[in-house]
Amino acid sequence: MSITVPRYGADIYSTAAILDPYPHYAELRELGPVVWLTKQKVYAVARYAECKQVLLDDETFVSGDGVALNALANRLGRGTTLNSDGDEHALKRSVLAHRLTPKALRTMGRAVQDEAERIVDAAIAKQWVDGVQDLATALPTSIVPDLVGWPKDGRENLLRWAGATFDSLGPFNRHALGSAKASAEMMAFSRRVVRERSVLPGSMGADVLAAADENRIERSQCPALMIDYLAPSLDTTIGAISGALHLFSRHPDQWQAVRQDPGLLPNAVNEVVRYTSPLRAFSRRAARDVEVGGVTLPRNARVLVIYASANRDRRQWQDPDEFDITRDASAQLGFGSGVHGCAGQGLARLETRTILEVLATRVERIEPAGPASYAVNNVIHRFDRLPLRLVAAEGTAS
Ligand code: HEM
């Protein structure tokens, strides 16, 4: 290891750091462009420029050996889109990419709108709500399982399984250990779904089976590919929607601005994802000796890319700790960047924007109504409780 690399001894995956990671990120950014995390024994890049460099150079910084911080998860994750490189990655992405093109999303827009209206009306009727359960969770869990084609009788565990899958991608700490069983259960269930061909007709899962039938992919890859789109689609979007509700409840002036001009919403969604960064960090392996920020990283080094820290780097953003829906937040890295940039971001944006749009027409004020708390998860940073009071707009039944 180069002696010029600063070291950071605190555990950024302790429960306290999971709940409040931002002071750690600030220290990492100040220490240098590359920092050695003594606890995890990996390099970390926490500044915007180096995060972007690593994400864009997918020939050097490979995902095929996994993006987790522990060997077991990296082995279990083999065969997913997330954990593949080059042509293999392009092939896997192509099997399902047509499902999430702008055209496909336009077709889904009506269903998302109807669900959002139903969910918002029910929440307004309650008035006192948990922003996580009543709003943020309700939309993705009503949209994505149908899209992916997960059988109706296997849905009660989905949220727990998907959260555990993210948790297992951290270092091999007690959070990851505790999640291993649930993550394995999800894979076992997915294998059964593929074996029994019990996916919903016309769904993404049906496309995956068809690709195997036509020998475009191997049948053994089907279970991983199904989980590929299900696992990352729930907690992340729940994080973005609940984060948005929290931020707008604390910034009523910006909520009024959105209510008056819904055209602000697409950029507001970028700003929400920048500010909240529901997915903290993933890693890469360096396939060769490579220079990053003046530091030479040795071949095979594991490098942690902290998206959430890049999104608060003052070298990139003015007043990065301020939430401001009028700033141009389009360069945010919350969805990653480069070839592995989030394949579901169109859907995530659609869901987040639509529920905010519906709320903006029907809810005058979103008020904090009690202490909020964060979920404890190695990779996902999101609320697990967010008490709010919704004050209906005049003319809206409540
Ligand atoms: C606000 C919500 C979301 C956030 C913040 C988010 C974040 C991310 C990030 C940071 C990556 C990059 C991984 C890397 O660099 O290795 C990623 C990849 C991915 N995301 Fe998302 N995601 C969200 C929603 C979704 C949804 C709704 C879906 C599915 C419908 C999805 C499916 C995927 C897939 C399949 C990949 C892997 C892409 C690849 O490796 O080529 N995500 N996501």
Domains annotated on the chain, with CATH: 7-392 (1.10.630.10)
pLDDT mean over 166-183: 90
Q: What gap in Å lies between CA 47 and CA 29, rounded to an integer?
A: 6
Which secondary structure element, helix H or strand E, spans residue 183, and what is its range? helix 174-196
pLDDT at 397: 60
pLDDT mean over 331-336: 98
273 in contact with ligand 1, CB cutoff 6 A: yes
Q: Give Cβ neighbours of residue 265 (< 8 Å, ≥ 6 apart).
A: 258, 353, 356, 357, 360
Task: Judge whether residue 214 has pLDDT over 60.
Answer: yes
Q: What gap in Å lies between CA 338 and CA 85, rounded to an integer?
A: 12
Tell me what the pLDDT averaged over the chain comes to.
94
pLDDT at 3: 53
pLDDT at 370: 97
Phi-psi category of residue 40: left, alpha or beta, with phi > 0 → left and psi -120 to 50 → alpha = alpha
Q: What gap in Å lies between CA 124 and CA 394, rounded to an integer?
A: 12
Per DSSP, the three-state class of 54 is helix
Q: What angle do CA 143, 146, 147 make, to 5 degrees?
A: 80
- Fill in the amino acid letter for 33: P
- The percentage of residues in the chain with a pLDDT greater than 90, rounded to a whole number, is 82
Q: What angle do CA 370, 372, 374 make, to 5 degrees?
A: 170
Q: What gap in Å lies between CA 28 and CA 365, rounded to an integer?
A: 37
Per DSSP, the three-state class of 302 is strand
pLDDT at 332: 98
pLDDT at 398: 55
82 in contact with ligand 1, CB cutoff 6 A: yes
Task: Judge whether residue 173 has pLDDT over 60.
Answer: yes
Task: Judge whether residue 100 has pLDDT over 70.
Answer: yes
Locate the ligand 1 atom nearest the alpha carbon of residue 352 and give its number: 1
Instruction: Out of 4-8, 201-205, 298-302, 393-397, pick the least confident.
Output: 393-397
232 in contact with ligand 1, CB cutoff 6 A: yes
269 in contact with ligand 1, CB cutoff 6 A: no
pLDDT at 62: 98
343 in contact with ligand 1, CB cutoff 6 A: yes
pLDDT per position as a tens digit, 26-58: 999 999 999 999 999 999 999 999 999 999 999
pLDDT at 43: 98
Contact by Cβ (8 Å): 194, 226: yes
> How sure is the predictor about 1, in pLDDT bands with cuts at 50, 70 and 90?
very low
- Fill in the amino acid letter for 168: S
Contact by Cβ (8 Å): 123, 361: no
Q: Which residues partner with 305 through β-bridges?
A: 45, 282
User: What separation in angstroms does the CA of 319 have from each of 208, 246, 316?
Assistant: 44, 19, 10
**Within 13 A of 270's CA, how many CA atoms are on the CB side?**
13
> How sure is the predictor about 9, in pLDDT bands with cuts at 50, 70 and 90?
very high
Q: Which residues partner with 42 through β-bridges?
A: 37
Q: Which of 228, 345, 351 to mutate to test the pocket of ligand 1 (most atoms within 8 A of CB)?
A: 345
- The percentage of residues in the chain with a pLDDT greater than 70, rounded to a whole number, is 99
48 in contact with ligand 1, CB cutoff 6 A: no
- Fill in the amino acid letter for 357: E
Tokens (6 digits) for 307: 């998206």
Instruction: Between 298 and 229, name the one with better pLDDT.
Output: 298
Locate the ligand 1 atom nearest the alpha carbon of residue 100 and give its number: 30
Tokens 């940073």 sit on residue: 381
